[in-house]
């Protein structure tokens, strides 16, 4: 299948059944953007730009103003006054004028050095090289399109072809200029235990930016922004989404200029960023992804879910059901021992879960969060047999074994810090700031990465460990520069690449105080993530609903926590706590022995149901049917389309409520679907007239309806 066509000019058109993206080299050598949106038979003609009063024109082109012209990778200093994609350090001249040099068509997708990227296969890539002869800079713009996905991947490589160093101050992965239109901006903000809150606002004249300077992609702003038609719904309207395959400091912005042109930029955060590019060196940006759907926000989510499963999730686990588990954290916190863990393993086996996870507190001296990070040796008093023997004892009970780690951190009260204080990130002449009483190891240093790899590799090789919860419980400070923050991420990715290659059967789960680093960079190495420490069902509804705009259920984990909830004190039923995490691929329990004893039959029922339906959550279609302050309704349809799960929540009950009915989506119109109580419906009935729901009888109620397709 020909995905990229090149015609005279040259004009470049990337096209599949889902979208079209086109650009051309104009008479001045500027790479001009033509379109991004629904699939077209051929590229549209360039815009007819007006001649404006007091507008700066390019020499010898008195009708060409860069301030009006939609461009592929804009720079500053020659009449374009919007935010640039590339900006050099000032020295005596920061003006850039990138012009077309050459292009190459690649039959698949080349990897990026040191950075995670989406996989190729059934794809084609265009590389367009631009140059500035004065600054002696070349820029390779990579564009990848796939046969079956409504996504374009973009990244940039900046190359110094001159004889003196160049200072990079702002380097975008992608820049996209869109024609004027009435749009809203959708983004997701939050904090610890209340991540992924959706916010929509009308696109203003000016610039709107989401970003992180925290050393992580952050829970303050999910690294994702969507531009949606002002009247778009879940099922109608054009929607453009943009995200990064990156886990550190980033910036994503949308800007509407004075004449209505819209510019989207995404890449490394330019705050405090200064990267010296020596002669002959190049700089590779993180990969950015542009998704498009004409079918509303639900359609755009389906585009992202399919793409992430196919091109981001590690292939080894893409079709592997996640084990149910019992985690020791809320059962004991730091007060764990060999005896108590084995007692919980017995409980896990009785409950029918498949894995026991040993959380924080197992290593030498770790009695609270003030000490011992960095000294990853089992505490000899509490775990005299060691981790390998403990893991084997758990395995002997018919369970898998998992363990919690926080490899990037160090406690000042630790043998590692006393031996290597210079391995912790700090600014010269200053005492480093602390978060959760701990410091961050400097992964920009090769020796630090090698040390972490050595002990982790030895641990995973010494014991039958099936799962690792990889935590990170503080934001970064004292970095000194944005360049150091980026070098940290390169070190982290190098470490994760080595470990996941050497231990391909271990399920790694990303966690950072919940969703503080839940992004496509981490999910390129780890098949699942802990999206929030909020286990209260009401709090988790908003979190899962928001995260689902980008992330498929396949990459989410959830467990049943205690009631009253330890984050907000709310009392809720076991059923509500279970149902709130039901769409997630990984299900578990984190309860004390007394709570388990009180709820044993229900827990056995729920974990049995999770185990039986685990395969249905992989590759499933997820639809947000209704979301209000009091009501959340989700539909999850198995990949084989044979089972439909309808999950309905009522937050606060009220008397004399209206009749509750909801219309389903994506069913086969003439097929018959049977509920667990025997009622049957045709698909078109369910989609056009809806399914009646029971009236709630209490606060925080949850209802699960399962429909089986029979013909």
Residues labelled as active-site residues: 471, 533
262-268 and 250-256 beta bridge pairing = antiparallel
| Token digits of residue 192 | 């610890």
3-state secondary structure of 707: strand
Look at residues 265, 268, 262 and name the one whose alpha carbon lies nearest to residue 285. 268
CB 154 within 8 A of CB 174: yes
Instruction: For residue 616, give the H/E element and its range.
Output: helix 600-617
Sign of the alpha-carbon torsion through 530, 447, 113, 253 = positive
Return the axis-axis angle of helices 338-351 and 386-396, rounded to nearest 10°.
20
d(CA 321, CA 615) in angstroms, rounded, equals 5
Q: Report d(CA 86, CA 103) in Å as an integer.
A: 20
**What is the C-alpha to C-alpha distance for residues 592 and 436, in angstroms, rounded to an integer?**
24
Give 463-494 as a DSSP string.
S---EEEE---S-------HHHHHHHHHHHHH
Cα gap 86→80, rounded to integer Å: 12
Cβ partners under 8 Å of residue 119, min gap 6? 109, 310, 311, 312, 315
Residue identified by tokens 């926000």 is 297
561 in Cβ contact with 568 (< 8 Å): no
Report phi then psi at 455, rounded to 5.
-70, -35
SS3 (DSSP) at 547: helix
Cis peptide leading into residue 290 (ω within 30°): no
């Amino acid at each position: 299948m020909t995905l990229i066509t090149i015609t005279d000019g040259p004009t470049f058109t990337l096209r599949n059944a889902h979208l079209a993206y086109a650009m051309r080299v104009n008479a001045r050598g500027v790479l001009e953007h033509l379109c991004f949106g629904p699939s077209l038979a051929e590229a549209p003609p360039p815009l007819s730009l007006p001649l404006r009063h007091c507008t700066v024109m390019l020499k010898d082109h008195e009708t060409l103003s860069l301030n009006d012209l939609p461009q592929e990778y804009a720079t500053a200093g020659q009449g374009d006054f919007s935010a640039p994609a590339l900006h050099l350090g000032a020295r005596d001249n920061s003006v850039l004028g990138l012009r077309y040099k050459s292009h190459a068509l690649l039959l698949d997708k080349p990897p990026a050095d040191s950075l995670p990227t989406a996989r190729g296969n059934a794809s084609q890539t265009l590389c367009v090289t631009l140059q500035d002869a004065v600054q002696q800079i070349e820029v390779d713009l990579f564009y990848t399109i796939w046969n079956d996905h409504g996504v374009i991947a973009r990244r940039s490589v900046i190359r110094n072809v001159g004889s003196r160093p160049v200072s990079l101050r702002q380097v975008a992965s992608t820049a996209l200029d869109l024609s004027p239109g009435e749009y809203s901006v959708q983004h997701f903000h939050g904090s610890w235990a209340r991540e992924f809150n959706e916010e929509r606002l009308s696109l203003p004249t000016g610039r709107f930016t989401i970003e992180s300077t925290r050393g992580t992609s952050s829970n303050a702003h999910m690294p994702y922004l969507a531009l949606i038609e002002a009247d778009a719904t879940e099922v109608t309207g054009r929607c453009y989404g943009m995200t990064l395959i990156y886990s550190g400091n980033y910036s994503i912005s949308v800007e509407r200029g004075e004449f209505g042109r819209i510019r989207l930029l995404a890449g490394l955060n330019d705050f405090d960023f200064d990267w010296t590019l020596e002669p002959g060196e190049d700089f590779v940006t993180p990969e950015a992804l542009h998704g498009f759907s004409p079918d509303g926000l639900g359609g755009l989510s389906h585009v992202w879910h399919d793409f992430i499963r196919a091109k981001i999730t590690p292939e080894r686990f893409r079709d592997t059901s996640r084990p149910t588990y019992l985690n020791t954290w809320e059962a004991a916190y730091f007060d764990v021992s060999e005896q108590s863990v084995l007692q919980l393993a017995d409980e896990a086996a009785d409950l029918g879960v498949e894995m026991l996870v040993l959380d924080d507190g197992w290593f030498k001296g770790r009695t609270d969060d003030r000490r011992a990070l960095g000294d990853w040796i089992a505490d000899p008093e509490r775990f005299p047999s060691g981790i390998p023997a403990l893991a084997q004892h758990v395995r002997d009970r018919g369970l898998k074994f998992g363990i919690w780690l926080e490899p990037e951190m160090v406690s000042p009260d630790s043998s590692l810090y006393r031996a290597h204080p210079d391995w912790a990130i700090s600014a010269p002449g200053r005492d480093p700031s602390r978060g959760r009483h701990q410091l961050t190891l400097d992964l920009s240093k090769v020796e630090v990465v090698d040390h972490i790899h050595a002990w982790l590799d030895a641990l995973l090789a010494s014991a039958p460990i099936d799962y690792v919860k990889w935590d990170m419980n503080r934001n970064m400070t004292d970095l000194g520069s944005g360049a150091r923050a980026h070098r940290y991420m390169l070190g982290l990715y190098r470490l994760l690449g080595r470990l996941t290659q050497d231990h391909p059967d271990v399920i790694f789960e990303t966690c950072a105080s919940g969703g503080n680093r839940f992004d496509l960079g981490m999910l390129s190495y780890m098949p699942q993530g802990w999206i929030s420490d909020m286990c209260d069902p009401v709090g988790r509804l908003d979190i899962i609903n928001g995260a689902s705009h980008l992330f498929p259920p396949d990459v989410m984990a959830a467990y049943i926590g205690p009631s009253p909830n330890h984050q907000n004190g709310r009392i809720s039923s076991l059923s509500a706590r279970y149902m709130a995490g039901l769409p997630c691929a990984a299900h578990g329990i984190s309860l004390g022995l007394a709570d388990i004893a009180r709820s044993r039959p229900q827990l056995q029922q729920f974990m049995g149901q999770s185990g039986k339906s685990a395969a249905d959550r992989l590759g499933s279609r997820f639809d947000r049917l209704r979301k209000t302050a009091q009501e959340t309704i989700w539909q999850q349809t198995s990949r084989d389309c044979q089972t439909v799960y309808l999950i309905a929540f009522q937050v606060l009950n009220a008397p004399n409520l209206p009749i509750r009915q909801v219309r389903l989506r994506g069913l086969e119109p003439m097929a018959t679907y049977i509920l667990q109580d025997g009622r049957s419906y045709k698909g078109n009935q369910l989609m056009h007239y809806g399914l009646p729901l029971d009236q709630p009888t209490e606060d925080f109620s949850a209802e699960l309806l399962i429909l089986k397709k029979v013909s």
